[in-house]
Amino acid sequence: MVNVIINGRDVAVEENTSILEAAQKLNINVPTLCHYPDLHINSECRICVVEIEGYRGLKTSCSTPVREGMNIKTNSPKVLNARKTITELILSNHDAKCTSCVRNMSCELQSLANNLGIDENRFENVLHKVEIDDHNPSLVRNANRCIKCGRCVDICKSVQSMHVLDSMGRGHDMEIRPAFGKYLSDEFCTFCGQCANVCPVGAIVEKDNTDVVWQKLHDPNVHVMVQIAPAVRVSIGEEIGLSTGLISNGKLVSAMKHLGFNNVYDTNFTADLTILEEGTELISRIKNGGVLPLMTSCCPGWINLAEQEYPEVLPNISSCKSPQQMFGTLAKTYFANKTGRDPKDIYVVSVMPCTAKKYEAARDEMSADGKHPDVDIVLTTRELGKMFRQMGIDFDHIQDVEFDNPFGITTGAAALFGATGGVTEAALRTVYEVVNNEPLDNLDFHDVRGLEGIKEADVNLGGTMVKVAVSHSLSNARTLIEEVIAGKSPYAFIEIMACPGGCIGGGGQPYGTTNDVRLERIASTYTIDGAMVYRKSHENPAIKALYKEYLKEPNSKRAHQLLHTEYFSRN
C-alpha cells in the first residue's frame, strides 16, 4: 500500500493506483475530459492536472501513479487556473453553438466549462470550419465540434480494431478523421457507432431522423407502426432520468402511444422468429453437411465487416434477415395483407440500440416490393429519448399499456438478444429441444453470459457434442473469423456482435456506456427473461400461429422468400 495526502487528507491505496483513482477513493472529484472508463489513458486533454509538492509543473492525475508520501492538491489556485485556461483553449477552437447542438445538456465540455465558471473566453476563436461528413445513413461527423480527445480513435482502434479514425496532421491543424480526408463511407467503417457513443461532445453523432418520424406521425394518411428492439427497454430509462436503465414494457408502450404511433410492436417477436429460422438452418446444415460454422446474422455492424473485409466467410453467415428486417418485411406483406392496407401507406419505424441498423434498413435488397424500404426509418435509443423529452411525457403517471398484437407476444429467449451470448442461448434452448426431442432441464447457459471477449459452450445435440462460440466487439470477432478462414474453427455455431457487450452496448445507446453500465443492462435483460411466461422461442403461441396461418414451417419457400437474404462482397 502507498500512503499519500490529497487535499490534506490521508489515503492508502494499492501501488500503481493513479492519483485520479486515489482521489476518487476520497470522493474528491477531479474533472476529466479525454479519460473514459475501459479505454486507454492517453492523457491528452490535460484537464485533470494536479499539483504535487516538490514536482516540477503540474501532473495529469489520470496517468500519474501515486508514490509514497506524495502531497497532492487537486484544487489549488494554480490548478484551477490551468484547468480554466485549457478549457478556454479548447473552446477557442470549437464550434460552440451549444443551444443548436444535439449534445446540449449532455455535452461533457459544456458541463466542464460550466463547472469551471467560464463566462468569458480570453482567447479569440480560431476555428477553421470544415465540411461536415453526413455521406452515410448512420453517422454524422462534424469536425468543427471535435476537441481531439482521442476517445473515438482509441475505441475504433483498440476495441473495434477498425482503425477508421486517427489523428492526421500536426499542431493546430491536427484533426481526427478517416485517412486522406475521406468520408466514413469511403472507408471500411462498419457504422457500429462506438465512436459516437464515447464522444464527449457532438463531433460524431447518429444521423437524426426524429423530424421525419414526427412528420409521419402527424400525417393522417399514413399508418405508422413502431418496433422496439430488445436492448432498448433495458437502457431507455437512462435517457429519461431513471436511476436504472430498466423500464416496464407497459410504460414504454404507453409512452410510444402518446407519441402517436398507430401500432406499437416488439422486435422480440421477430427475434423469436429468427430463432426458428436460424435454428432450423443450423440443424439442416449439421444434418446435410452444409457450410459450418453457421454464423449469426442479426448484427449489421458485423455484416458490414464481413462484406468489406472477409468475403470468404459470407457462406457461413446465416441467410436469415435480422429481426429488424424480418419485422419490416412482415409489416409490409403479411400485416398489409391482413389489414387490407396498401404497403406504401404503412410507415415502419424501428427503435434500435444501434447506428448500423440505419445502414441496414437502407440496403437495396431490404425491400419487399423493390421500391419502398421494409423498415422506413431507424431511430436510436437516444433519438427515442429525445422524442420523449420533446413530448414532455410524465413517466411517473402514465398508464401501463400492452404491446399490440400479433407482433407483441414474445418470449424470454427473444429478450436475451440484447446481451452478448443471448442469441446463442435462445438458439440453444430451441435447437436442443427440437433435435433431442426432450425438454431442456436448465434453460440458463451461463457459459455464454458475461463480458468475457470470447465465450464457448458445449451442447449435446442428438448424442454429438457440438461447440459454440460467442464474441462481442469487432476485435474479438476477427479472432473467430480468422479461425474460420484458416479452417481451424472447432465450432458449429458462432454468434458475433459488433459492439462490446452486444446490443445493450450498441452505438445508439445512451451516453456513458461503460462496462459497469453494460453489466447493469445485462442483468436487467436476464431479469426480463426470468419473468416471462414463455422462455423458449418455439413455444411462442403467436409464432406458432404465424407459421400455421402464413409461413407454413421454418425455412419454407415463403419463409425463405420473405425472411432470408443474401450478402455481397464489397472488398
Partner 1 sequence: MIQRKELTQRFGIIDPLSITDYLKNQGYQMLHQVLEMKPEDIIEEITLSKITGRGGANFPTGKKMKGFASETGQKYVICNADEGEPGNFKDRYLMENDPHQVIEGMLISAYATGATKGFIYIRGEYQKSIRIMKHTIEEAKKLNFLGTDIFGTDFCFDIEIRRGAGAYVCGEEFALIESIEGKPGRTRVKPPYPSEVGVFGRPTLINNVETFCNLPFILKIGGAEYNKIGSSFATGTKLISLSGSVKNKGLYEVPFGTTIRKVIEKLGNGVKDNKTLKMVQLGGACGVIIPPRLLDMDIDNEAFEIFDTKMGAGAIIVIDDSKDLFDIILRNMEFFQHESCGKCTPCREGHIQIVNLIKKFVNYEATIKDYQSLESLAKVIHETTLCGLGQASPTSILSTMEYFKADYTNRIKESYERGNISG
Which residues are catalytic, by number?
A: 278, 281, 298, 318, 357, 360, 365, 503
Q: Judged by CB, which is closer to partner 1: 155, or 295?
A: 155
List of residues 6+ apart from 427 with CB closer than 8 A: 275, 278, 279, 282, 493
Confirm if 505 and 366 have CB atoms less than 8 A apart: no
Q: Counting contacts by CB under 8 A, is residue 167 touching partner 1? A: yes
Q: Judged by CB, which is closer to partner 1: 82, or 387?
A: 82
Confirm if 219 and 212 have CB atoms less than 8 A apart: no
Q: Judged by CB, which is closer to partner 1: 170, or 397?
A: 170
Q: Counting contacts by CB under 8 A, is residue 173 touching partner 1? A: yes
Q: Counting contacts by CB under 8 A, is residue 24 touching partner 1? A: no
Single out the segment in contact with partner 1 by CB under 8 A; choices: 172-180, 252-260, 426-434, 500-508.
172-180
Q: Counting contacts by CB under 8 A, is residue 43 touching partner 1? A: yes
CB-side exposure of 215: number of CA atoms within 13 Å? 6
**Among 1, 105, 132, 174, which residue interacts with partner 1 (rule: CB under 8 A)?**
174
Q: How far apart are CA 539 and CA 289, in angstroms?
A: 28
Considering the complex, what minimum distance in angstroms separates the CB of residue 125 from partner 1? 10
Q: How far apart are CA 233 and CA 227, in angstroms?
A: 12
Q: Judged by CB, which is closer to partner 1: 45, or 320?
A: 45
Pairing of the two strands 493-497 and 294-295 = parallel
Which residues ranging from 540 to 559 are in contact with partner 1 (CB under 8 A)?
Answer: none
Q: What are phi and psi of 268, to 5 degrees?
A: -60, -30
List of residues 6+ apart from 373 with CB closer than 8 A: 328, 361, 362, 366, 367
Q: Counting contacts by CB under 8 A, is residue 86 touching partner 1? A: yes
Q: Counting contacts by CB under 8 A, is residue 284 touching partner 1? A: no
Single out the segment in contact with partner 1 by CB under 8 A; choices: 2-10, 23-31, 88-96, 227-235.
88-96
Confirm if 15 and 53 have CB atoms less than 8 A apart: no
Q: Judged by CB, which is closer to partner 1: 75, or 210?
A: 75
**Among 78, 257, 372, 467, which residue interacts with partner 1 (rule: CB under 8 A)?**
78
Considering the complex, what minimum distance in angstroms separates the CB of residue 11 from partner 1? 21
Considering the complex, what minimum distance in angstroms separates the CB of residue 85 from partner 1? 4
Considering the complex, what minimum distance in angstroms separates the CB of residue 467 from partner 1? 34
Considering the complex, what minimum distance in angstroms separates the CB of residue 93 from partner 1? 5
Single out the segment in contact with partner 1 by CB under 8 A; choices: 50-58, 338-346, 469-477, 508-516.
50-58
Q: Is the dihedral of CA 98, 349, 328, 292 positive or negative?
A: positive
Confirm if 141 and 199 have CB atoms less than 8 A apart: no
Q: What is the 3-state secondary structure (H, E, C) of 316-339?
A: HECCECCHHHHHHHHHHHHHHHHH
Query: In the beta sheet, which residues pair with residue 4?
Result: 11
User: Which has the closest alpha carbon to 266: 352, 138, 386, 333?
Assistant: 352
Single out the segment in contact with partner 1 by CB under 8 A; choices: 162-170, 190-198, 268-276, 293-301.
162-170
Q: How far apart are CA 441 and CA 445, in angstroms?
A: 11
Considering the complex, what minimum distance in angstroms separates the CB of residue 493 from partner 1? 36
Considering the complex, what minimum distance in angstroms separates the CB of residue 97 from partner 1? 19
Question: What cell does 52 get?
Answer: 504535487
Question: What cell does 180 get?
Answer: 486522406
Collapse the DSSP code of 116 into the 3-class scheme (helix H, G, I; strand E, B; otherwise coil) and give the result.
coil
Residues making contact with partner 1 (CB under 8 A): 41-47, 49, 56-58, 60, 63, 65, 78, 81-82, 85-86, 89-90, 92-93, 122-124, 126, 147-148, 167, 169-174
